Structure 1
Amino acid sequence: MMGNYMWQIKKISILRLAQGESIFVNGNDLLAFEPSVRWDIKLMKKKVSGMLAGGLFNVKLEGAGLVAITSHYEPLTLIVQPGDSVYTDPNATVAWSGDLKTEFVTDVSFKTFIGRGSGESIQMKFTGSGFVVVQPFEEVYTTNGNQG
């Protein structure tokens, strides 16, 4: 029976926020945070893209304290620098620096519609200075709440 639930096992990573720092976390990947950390639920701007990023909502956390996030397997941290944008798969994006600008970009062509596309049709674009945490696993969300 345990084999059916192996996809639910996630790695826990602890982040330390300094005073004045903030981070956005996919709501499905936020485990816990200290009482000193302020939080707010943020609605994604594009509903379709937001659903691809794990739901319509992400949690903005700010202030000094510890934050526990989860990911499938070992997370990868990508550094974003001015003039050097980072693109991620919304379904693999776990968290990002609060100062980054985000937008959704699409690469839809005729090949996409006939199944010959060579990558993700919708990506998250990050610009500015900060970091993005991704997981080597694409979370798929269904209407009955199961993911995998």
Structure 2
Amino acid sequence: MSRYSIEEFIKQTEQVDKGEGFFELETPRMLEVNLDGQVWAKAGSMVAYHGEMRFVREGILEHGLGTAFKKALTGEGASLMKANGRGKLYLADSGKKIVILKLQNDSIFINGNDLLAFEPSIKWKIKLMKRIAGMMAGGLFNVYCEGTGMIAFTTHYEPLTLRVTPGQPVITDPNATVAWSGNLQPVIQTDISFKTFLGRGSGESIQMRFEGDGFVVVQPYEEVYMNSKQG
């Protein structure tokens, strides 16, 4: 078989069942959902499927937040879709790496833009970070997930998890913060001198301060979200 033949390419990249269950990492940046029922997924994340499926888009802001915040949030980041049916569903988000977690009566906060998919057994609700709302263009909301079931979220490049222990707070850049344990409540703080160090001429540097006992997941990338006012 020729090294660069179509047959060799198919052999190297062909989908292979790994038998891992409901969620499988088909590649580090492609999630396979073995669907028999329903799954929640980020709107626009479907890249392929086979079987019988029906997709319904749903604005997550209908779950408890008023219309006042709708304009401040991006359309993509503020929407989920429900996939119903049977078959194999393939999800991806801008080539970002995918992390799969199986919650066992656990809870976790995930940045609304980074949540890729989760089982319907997971209870979820939106948490708006009001202090940030007036300072940042986006990344204003997080999804609190709890219960037992599978969750998939995405990161730009490899994630790093930092332990938060009593007396040892962790401070992060909101644009690089992906997720944190459900028992932690970050405090938003500003650092005027820090923005000078970064060479940012306008606005204060906004930071998230985590204190207590838990963890926070960061990525080596500052994700900047555009809102509707900025086009």
Q: Does 1:106 align with 2:185?
A: no
Q: 2-side partners of 1:37 and 1:31: how far apart?
A: 13
| Greater fraction of residues in strand | 2
Q: CA offset at residue 40 of structure 1?
A: 0.5
Residues 44-94 of structure 1: CA deviation (Å, up to 9, x unaligned): 131135x46x42211000001111000100111011011110000000000
Q: 2-side partners of 1:72 and 1:145: how far apart?
A: 25
Q: How does 1:3-42 map to 2 (within 5 A)?
A: 8-19=94-105, 21-42=106-127
Q: CA offset at residue 142 of structure 1?
A: 2.0
Q: 1:57 aligns with which of 141, 144, 148?
A: 141
Q: CA offset at residue 101 of structure 1?
A: 2.2
Q: Does 1:85 align with 2:164?
A: no
- Amino acid paired to 2:104: A
Q: 2:152 aligns with which of 68, 72, 79?
A: 68
Larger radius of gyration: 2
Q: 2-side partners of 1:26 and 1:143: how far apart?
A: 16
Please identify runs of 4+ aligned residues in structure 1 that moved more than 6 A: none
Residues 102-144 of structure 1: CA deviation (Å, up to 9, x unaligned): 11111114x84xxxx1248211000111110111000112235
Structure 1 alignment gaps of length 5 or more: 1-6
Q: CA offset at residue 145 of structure 1?
A: 9.7
Q: 2-side partners of 1:103 and 1:91: how far apart?
A: 15
- Amino acid paired to 2:207: Q
Name the SS of the counterpart of 1:91 in structure 2.
helix
Q: 2:217 aligns with which of 129, 133, 139?
A: 133
Name the SS of the counterpart of 1:63 in structure 2.
strand
2:129 paired residue number: 44
Name the SS of the counterpart of 1:100 in structure 2.
coil
1:3 paired residue number: none
TM-score using structure 2 length? 0.53
Matched positions, count? 132
Name the SS of the counterpart of 2:192 in structure 1.
coil
Name the SS of the counterpart of 2:175 in structure 1.
helix
1:118 paired residue number: 197
TM-score using structure 1 length? 0.80
RMSD of aligned alpha carbons: 2.3
Higher relative contact order (CA 8 A, sep 6+): 1
- Identical aligned pairs, as a percentage? 62
Q: CA offset at residue 12 of structure 1?
A: 0.3
